[in-house]
Amino acid sequence: MRFDIITIFPFIFTSYLKESLIKKATEKKVLDIRIHDLRKWTDDPHKKVDDRPFGGGSGMVMKIEPIWKAVSEIKDNNLNSKVVVFTPRGKKFNQKTAFRFSKHEQIIMICGRYEGIDERVHKYIAEEEISIGNYVLMGGEVPAMVVMESVSRLIPEVVGKEEFLDERNKEEGFIEYPQYTRPEVFSGEEKDWKVPKILLSGDHKKIKQWKKKKGKIIK
């Protein structure tokens, strides 16, 4: 799986890519993650990627030209690619979308900044508009990390053991249930907090039923 992220702040991803399972997956070449500085595709001496909005308004809007050049160069026509742009107007990202994205070979993510991106990028360059929630962020870099991590853990060999994927690698969603570990009893200042007895019973059928009852379906 190859991820190409277009941003004007490439160093935001530096520490993220050097930690945990993402790092291990890139070292094993299971994931190919490429961070692209959008300013590389500008022509003016100041590497300008934004301009004033037509019709007035506060803030600046990211220009179409460098984004079009970047996507045109980055997109590999030999791969099953998906071009994504992040916007609060987009479709809410969920597990079903992550599963669908995991079937692609290349995902190109365009990270906006300022007041937004020229609408022609949304209409003619991006193939899908994605939002990670009903709130406004400073840019698309955090959403890109969210999408990359969610999709990556559905790729075989990224999380390690296949059984880790069995419960979640499903298009129809999965059940997320409460988890407990040792100690069996944690003594607080005024009361003891105990692990549910059913989880200590060894009765796997009843434990499975408990998980289903207490869990929440994530789609």
Q: What are the chain's domains?
A: 2-152 (3.40.1280.10), 173-218 (1.10.1270)
pLDDT at 58: 83
Closest CA to 113 of 169, 69, 60, 58: 60
Residue whose pair of structure tokens reads 């069995």 in the numeric block: 166
Three-state secondary-structure class, residue 176? strand
pLDDT at 176: 85
The one-digit pLDDT tens for each residue of the chain (219 residues) are: 999 999 999 999 999 999 999 999 999 999 999 999 999 999 988 999 999 999 988 899 999 999 999 999 999 999 999 999 999 999 999 999 999 999 999 999 999 999 899 999 999 999 999 999 999 999 999 999 999 999 999 999 998 666 555 555 555 677 889 999 999 999 977 889 999 999 999 999 999 999 999 998 877
- Backbone dihedral region of 56: left (phi > 0), alpha (psi from -120 to 50 degrees) or beta? left
d(CA 156, CA 165): 8
Q: How big is the CA angle at 204 (ends 198 and 208), to the nearest 5 degrees?
A: 80
Altogether, the residues listed in the chain come to a count of 219
pLDDT at 132: 97
d(CA 52, CA 56): 8
Q: In whole angstroms, how far apart are CA 64 and each of 40, 110, 148, 157? A: 14, 11, 24, 37
- Residue type (1 letter), 130: I
DSSP 39: G
Q: Which residues of 156-171 are buried (b: 16+ CB within 10 A; e: fewer)?
A: eebbeeeeebeebbee
pLDDT at 216: 87
Closest CA to 31 of 102, 110, 88: 102
DSSP 12: G
pLDDT at 171: 59
Judge residue 119's burial from the number of C-beta atoms within 10 Å of its C-beta, 0-12 exposed, 13-18 middle, 19 or more buried: exposed
pTM higher than the cut 0.85? yes
d(CA 169, CA 155): 9
